[in-house]
Amino acid sequence: MSITITKPLLIIISFLFFKSLSGQNFEIDNLKYSINNDEITVSVSGHSFTITNSNVNLTDVVIPEHVSNEGKTYLVTKIGNSAFKNFVNLKSVTFPESITEIEHYAFQGCSFVEEMELPKYLVSVGAGAFARMNRLKTIKLPDSIEKFYGAVFDCCKELTEVSLPSGLKTVPLNTFFRCYKLTTVNLPANVEYVHPEFAIECSSMTNIFIDESNLKYKNIDGALYDKSGDSLLYMPALNEKVNIAEGTKVITKYALSNCITQTNINIPASLIKISDSSFSECRNLDNIFVNKNNTVFTDLKGVLYSKDQTIIYVYPRKKEGKYSIDDKVTKINGYAFYGATLLEDIEIPSATVSIGYAAFHYCLSLKSVVLPDNITSIGTNAFNQCSELEKVVLPKNLSIIAVQMFQFCQKLSEVVYPENLKKIERDAFFQCKSLVSGNIPEGTTFIDYRAFKGCSALKTLSLPSSLKTIGMSAFDEMSSLEEVYCYNPIPVTYTDKQFFTVSDISNAQLYIPYGSKTAYEEDMCWSAFGKITEMEDPEITSLNSLSDNLFDVSISDGYLKIENITSCIAIYDIAGQLIENITSNKSEARIKLPKRGVYIIRGNKYSKKIIY
């Protein structure tokens, strides 16, 4: 059986459908409501108060317990997402007892509300529900609340003391982030988890109190510990000098994140472990003092070392000038020099083999670094945002330049690359706007996503024959680029068609190996270069010496001597195996040739074969 719907009937059906939809939302006395799925309750979804001036005509809002629409009465149970967000004219709000849920960002940015009492049967409070209420001084939380989402009181700058409800089980991330005047937080007996970053940048915090019957946590001298008292979880900003309680075994990752004004910290004999970033936010720290009976740590003139002095853990951020790391050190720990903004020069001993994550991140005054050749590992972000760093000599045995290692080093102009480099990872030199060192050594196989993006001073780039893959946007925004030397006869593959910015290379010169022009011109990306030129076919010469504008070469007693070096060059055997990389900062070099045979000397615009 078929049913025919006439045009008039279709119009009527459409009218009834849209009328039904519009009935889900209505407005009464400047408050907007939406009907919940149960069709007997509603949420306050917004308001239509006219905002004429943020400093006058401030509005007192009273939310009713019931509202009626089209002959039906509803119970008001929720304050919906962003219902009053940034309503700067709001001065106060009165809730009915029927409200059980306040959703995300409901009152965020209501900057004129000074106090608030939440409804007695409230169960859930959404993320950022009261964030950026800049004048909020007091808030009364009913014990019925069972759940907070993150950043509930983010940036409530006038809030001074909060007692969390007894029904709350979890205190989430950033609950009190940037509550600068908050002095005291009272935690109930039922709390089972407190996020380690629940109250970051609360510079006035003096006490964290916890109900004695709580099974997970305890209070020691106003600080938050696990129930055993072994692990320090949160240290309030007590006073100028922080004393870690004797008996403390572990300082957790964010435990001292609030201690931004302290100049000295005392480590007890009992301490056996710290997290890498434990001291990273101690911005005014001058000295760390360790109890002489501690068997794991010691201090050398206020700097934290392992007891045997083979690991440097923390260099206080307010120490200035030049620093020489102890000769015994084999490891520079993660975050060791993080944020040492007054450190100008660093001497790293030859015994050092590894540098940890973010070890020198944000060392704003550091100008140059020479890294010993024994170093084989440097962590992610190691020199990120060292904005005064001008020159780096990387250790020859380093195989990976890690993620964001030199990101935003805007004065970095010269990098001496490792001889054994294999990979340059994501954002390694991102926005290094002064970088002019672009001769990637032979042996490098992969340059990752945005590795050199924004290196706008780079004029010449040399890519070795070993290079196999280039990541997306690896060479974007290199506006000064004039010449690229690519020594792989097969066009290097790429993870995205735009690893260069097309406008940057449309006038640039691409030099490629002899006989590979057709392959490059047919490639979708490489063909975008303004001019593609093959380098000359190398000649074979049996002379014991030859000269070129770039350098002079002679062979004697099995040694290849190169003088007057003006460009980075590389020496290979006939099989393509790298014998030596020579950087342009050397005036001469003497290389032992492994055996008699044919060798290739390669530099920019220059490639020669010699017979020994």
Give domain status of residue 49, yes or no: yes
The tally of domains found in the chain comes to 2
83-94 residue pLDDT tens: 999 998 899 999
Per-residue model confidence (pLDDT) at position 331: 98
Q: What is the pLDDT of residues 135-165, one digit of tens each?
A: 999 999 999 999 999 999 999 999 999 999 9
Q: Which amino acid is at 30?
A: N
Of 611 and 516, more confident: 516
Rounded mean pLDDT of 211-236? 94
Question: Does 302 reside within a domain?
Answer: no
Among 50-54, 167-171, 491-495, top mean pLDDT goes to 167-171
Tell me, what DSSP letter sits at residue 487? -
Q: Which of 199-213, 533-547, 557-571 has the lowest mean pLDDT?
A: 533-547
Q: Is 8 among the domain residues? A: no
- Confidence band of 241 (pLDDT split at 50, 70, 90): low
Reported as a pLDDT band with limits 50, 70 and 90, residue 593 is confident
- Which of 44-58, 163-177, 229-243 has the weakest average pLDDT? 44-58
Contacts of 46 (CB under 8 A, 6+ apart): 31, 32, 80, 82, 83, 84
Phi-psi region of 182 (alpha: psi -120 to 50; beta: other; left: phi over 0): beta
Model pLDDT, residue 555: 80
Per residue in 531-552, is it b (16+ CB within 10 Å) or e — as a string?
ebeebeebeeeeeeeeebebbe
User: Does residue 281 lie in a domain region?
Assistant: no
Instruction: Please report, for the domain that includes residue 131, its CATH number.
Output: 3.80.10.10
Q: Is the pLDDT of residue 228 over 60?
A: yes
Q: For the chain, give percent helix, strand, coil, nearest 5.
A: 5, 30, 65
User: What was the pLDDT predicted at 258?
Assistant: 86
- For the cut 50, the answer to whether the pLDDT of residue 108 exceeds it is yes
- Whether 376 has a pLDDT exceeding 80, the answer reads yes
Which of these three, 173, 199, 215, is where a domain ends? 215
Task: Give the residue from 544, 518, 550, 543 showing the smallest Cα distance to 532.
Answer: 518
Q: What is the DSSP code (8-state) at residue 9?
A: H
Q: What percent of the chain has pLDDT over 90?
A: 70
Residue 400 above 90 pLDDT?
yes
CATH number, domain containing residue 583: 2.60.40
Question: What pLDDT was estimated at residue 433?
Answer: 96
| Beta strands at 423-424 and 207-210: parallel, antiparallel or unpaired | unpaired
In a domain, 89, yes or no: yes
User: For a pLDDT cut of 70, what percent of the chain falls above it?
Assistant: 88
Instruction: Quickly state the pLDDT bin for 57 (edges 50, 70, 90).
Output: low
CA distance 202 to 224: 14
Q: Which residue has the higher pLDDT, 544 or 501?
A: 501
Q: Which of 188-197, 441-450, 542-551, 566-575 comes out lowest in average pLDDT? A: 542-551
pLDDT band with cut points at 50, 70 and 90 for residue 56? very low
Among 188, 215, 242, the domain-final residue is 215
Mean pLDDT value across the chain: 88
Query: In the predicted model, what is the mean pLDDT of residues 212-223?
Result: 93
The alpha carbon torsion through 93, 97, 99, 101 (nearest 10 deg) reads: 100
Query: Per-residue confidence at 407, pLDDT binned at 50, 70, 90?
Result: very high
So what's the pLDDT on residue 262? 87
pLDDT at residue 23 in the model: 45
The answer to whether residue 580 is domain-embedded is yes
Domain around 110? 25-215
pLDDT for the residue numbered 577: 63
**Of the residues 198, 215, 232, the one at which a domain ends:** 215
Q: Is 545:555 a contact under the CB 8 Å cutoff? A: yes
User: What pTM was computed for the model?
Assistant: 0.79
Rounded to an integer, the average pLDDT of 356-372 is: 95
Tell me if 61 sits within 8 A of 94, measured CB to CB: yes
Residue 4 resides in a domain? no
The pLDDT confidence band at residue 422, using thresholds 50, 70 and 90, is: very high
Integer Cα distance of 302 and 313 in angstroms: 11
Work out the pLDDT band at 585, boundaries 50, 70, 90. Answer: low
In the structure, what pLDDT confidence band is assigned to residue 574 with cuts at 50, 70 and 90? low
Average of per-residue pLDDT across 240-254: 87
pLDDT tens, 130-142? 999 999 999 999 9
547 pLDDT above the threshold of 80: no
Residues in the chain: 612
- Residue at 591 is within a domain: yes
* pLDDT on residue 537: 56
pLDDT, tens only, 486-534: 988 899 988 876 789 888 998 899 999 888 999 999 998 899 998 999 8
Where does residue 155 fall: left (phi above 0), alpha (psi -120 to 50 degrees), or beta otherwise?
left
* pLDDT given at position 110: 96
Question: Is the pLDDT score of 587 beyond 60?
Answer: yes
Mean pLDDT of 110-122: 96
